[in-house]
């Protein structure tokens, strides 16, 4: 039902037409069996012209309606899956960053890849299931026309079969749901494999413990739950076939002894049941795929509800204020929840005022809250208490999107895009080439139609490309989080003594998170953090006393 609802949300009209034509196709196929049975039973009394005309008519109807149903449902199903992917992506991008960090990348990736693919696979078979179901129903109607007593007997067998199969299916679905939970942990372990490969290679004991106790254990649980669940589905399939053959045997051997029935009718039953074997087998075989899709949709809906509960207001930002006067943080506080810890790290309360064209260094030890403060300043974290006031305007959910557009940021865990997205400068390539030359990358990277020729560079050079993007954004406020940590000594000096003053001379406010104390004297102000609290706000003439 969840899959049908997914399609209905895309276009209920097309679903109705597609399912109707599917059932018409299945009904026509069932009618062909009735025609063949009737013709064989009354071969001497039936006009050959009528038989051939009816046969050709039913074949054409079955063919046309089958193609129509499949084409419409294939198009509709692919539209529905595409919309599902877009909706999830939009929900992720509009959810609060702190909430996304709590959910974790492995869970998000598992849903975007495995769960959506499971839904796509199941949606693909829906057109064929509709036709198979229509054939089954059409054949049941034909059996009813032959004898309602036989239908009652068959209904009794169907009730027993469905009841027993449903019990097995519910057990199997629970096991597949456990396997899906294991998959989240599996994605986390795979992330460790890809991101921690250097550390695992350098420590044999760590690698063996991870492989044998973590990865192998998770894979074992995932395999066991999948095997047990799919085994139950296999048993269900075999059990369904057994009941089906039992019904055929009952009709062939037992029914003639219970009621008076002529051989032609028996032949019609056998022909009908033989024809039913393929669609029934298709329906039962696709049950695991449908069950996996339902479990995946539950995961997707759960994520959607979770993201919706922490969704930010959707607004189109107005143009940024290029000539701003003040940015104030009044008693701003934020709690950062660490994994497997009851109490989170509290940053604040922060009281801070920024002014245009300042060069400010944010310093402090590891874990002091520098990156959390950066996310609060740029509007990525929403303060749990306190106020942010920009040029006298209180920042709320309604204008936070506009507020964020004032910042060009390079974080320590940056992401580098292949394309210069969202930059509408008509001379973008020319301007980018000039910056590449300044960043000493023009011999390695070229720009064509806003696309970088390569990003396969060293970490320090990749960071320079993020600086290129930040330059091209041309925002009023710049923030660099440990940007120079991966640069060679010459370019690090160039960054602090040339690039930062250049930005400042263009009227930009520059915030730099740094441990490079030899350059602290360049700052107009230094903000020092100590475990979530501002310990001091030193002017440039007090740098020495602060850093000591």
pLDDT score, position 394: 95
Model confidence pLDDT, tens digit, residues 417-427: 888 888 767 78
pLDDT score, position 543: 45
> Do 301 and 150 contact (CB within 8 A), yes or no?
no
pTM: 0.73
pLDDT score, position 523: 93
Model confidence pLDDT, tens digit, residues 366-392: 888 898 999 999 999 999 999 999 999
Work out the pLDDT band at 547, boundaries 50, 70, 90. Answer: very low
Q: Which domains does the chain have, with CATH numbers?
A: 2-309 (1.20.1560.10), 327-547 (3.40.50.300)
What average pLDDT does this structure show over 6-33?
A: 73
To the nearest whole number, what is the mean pLDDT of the chain? Answer: 82
C-alpha span between 243 and 300 (Å, rounded) = 36
Question: Pairing mode, if any, of strands 477-481 and 509-513?
Answer: parallel
Work out the pLDDT band at 356, boundaries 50, 70, 90. Answer: very high
pLDDT score, position 271: 75
Indicate if the pLDDT at residue 329 is higher than 50: yes
- Find all residues with CB under 8 Å of 459, minimum gap 6, and list them: 486
Model confidence pLDDT, tens digit, residues 302-328: 888 788 888 887 788 888 888 899 999
What average pLDDT does this structure show over 441-468?
A: 89
Model confidence pLDDT, tens digit, residues 180-217: 888 888 888 888 888 788 778 878 888 888 888 889 99
My answer on whether omega of the bond before 250 falls inside 30° of 0, hence cis, is no
pLDDT score, position 545: 40
Helices (H), 422-488: 428-438, 459-473
My answer on whether omega of the bond before 349 falls inside 30° of 0, hence cis, is yes
Helix (H, G, I), strand (E, B) or coil at 310: coil
Lowest-confidence pick of 117-126, 140-149, 289-298, 405-414: 140-149
Encoding tokens for residue 4? Answer: 């049908």
> Do 245 and 252 contact (CB within 8 A), yes or no?
no
| Selection from 55-69, 154-168, 223-237 with the highest mean pLDDT | 223-237
C-alpha span between 34 and 74 (Å, rounded) = 30
What average pLDDT does this structure show over 76-99?
A: 84
Indicate if the pLDDT at residue 337 is higher than 70: no
Indicate if the pLDDT at residue 341 is higher than 60: no
pLDDT score, position 1: 61
Encoding tokens for residue 462? Answer: 């990749």
């Amino acid at each position: 039902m969840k899959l049908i609802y997914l399609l209905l949300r895309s276009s209920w009209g097309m679903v109705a037409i597609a399912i109707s034509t599917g059932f018409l196709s299945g009904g026509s196929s069932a009618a062909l069996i009735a025609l063949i049975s009737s013709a064989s039973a009354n071969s001497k009394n039936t006009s050959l012209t009528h038989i051939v005309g009816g046969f050709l008519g039913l074949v054409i109807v079955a063919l046309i309606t089958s193609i129509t149903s499949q084409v419409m449902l294939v198009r509709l199903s692919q539209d529905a899956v595409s919309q599902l992917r877009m909706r999830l992506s939009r929900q992720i991008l509009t959810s609060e960053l702190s909430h996304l960090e709590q959910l974790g990348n492995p869970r998000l990736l598992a849903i975007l890849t495995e769960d959506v693919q499971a839904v796509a696979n199941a949606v693909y078979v829906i057109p064929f299931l509709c036709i198979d179901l229509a054939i089954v129903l059409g054949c049941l109607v034909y059996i009813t026309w032959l004898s309602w007593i036989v239908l009652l007997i068959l209904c009794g067998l169907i009730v027993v079969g469905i009841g027993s199969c449903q019990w097995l299916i519910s057990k199997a679905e629970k096991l597949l749901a456990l396997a899906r939970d294991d998959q989240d942990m599996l994605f986390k372990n795979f992330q460790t494999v890809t991101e921690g490969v250097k550390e695992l290679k350098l420590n044999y004991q760590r690698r063996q413990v991870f492989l044998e106790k973590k990865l192998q254990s998770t894979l074992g649980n995932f395999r066991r739950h999948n095997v047990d669940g799919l085994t139950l589905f296999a048993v269900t399939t075999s059990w369904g076939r057994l009941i089906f053959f039992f019904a055929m045997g009952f009709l062939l051997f037992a029914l003639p002894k219970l009621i008076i029935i002529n051989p032609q009718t028996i032949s019609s039953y056998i022909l009908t049941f033989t024809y039913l074997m393929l669609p029934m087998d298709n329906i039962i075989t696709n049950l695991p795929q449908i069950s996996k899709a339902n479990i995946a949709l539950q995961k997707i809906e759960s994520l959607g509800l979770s993201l919706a509960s922490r969704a930010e207001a959707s607004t189109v930002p107005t143009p940024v204020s290029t000539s701003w006067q003040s940015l104030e943080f009044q008693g701003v506080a934020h709690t950062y929840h660490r994994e497997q810890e009851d109490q989170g790290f509290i940053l604040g309360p922060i009281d801070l005022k920024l002014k245009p064209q300042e060069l400010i260094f944010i310093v402090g030890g590891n874990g002091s809250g520098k990156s959390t403060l950066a996310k609060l300043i740029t509007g990525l974290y929403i303060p749990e208490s306190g106020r942010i006031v920009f040029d006298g305007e209180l920042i709320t959910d309604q204008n936070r999107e506009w507020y964020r557009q004032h910042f060009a940021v390079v974080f320590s865990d940056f992401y580098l895009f292949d394309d210069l997205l969202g930059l509408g400068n008509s001379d973008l390539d020319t301007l980018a080439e000039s910056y590449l030359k300044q960043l000493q990358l023009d011999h390695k990277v070229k720009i064509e139609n806003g696309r970088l020729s390569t990003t396969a560079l060293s970490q320090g050079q990749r960071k320079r490309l993020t600086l290129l993007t930040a330059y091209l954004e041309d925002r009023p406020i710049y923030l660099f989080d440990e940007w120079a940590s991966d640069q060679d000594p010459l370019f690090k000096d160039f960054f602090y003594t040339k690039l930062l003053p250049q930005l400042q001379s263009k009227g930009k406010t520059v915030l730099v998170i740094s441990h490079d104390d030899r350059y602290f004297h360049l700052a107009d102000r230094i903000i020092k953090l100590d475990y979530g609290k501002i310990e001091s706000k030193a002017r440039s003439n007090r740098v020495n006393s602060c850093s000591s």
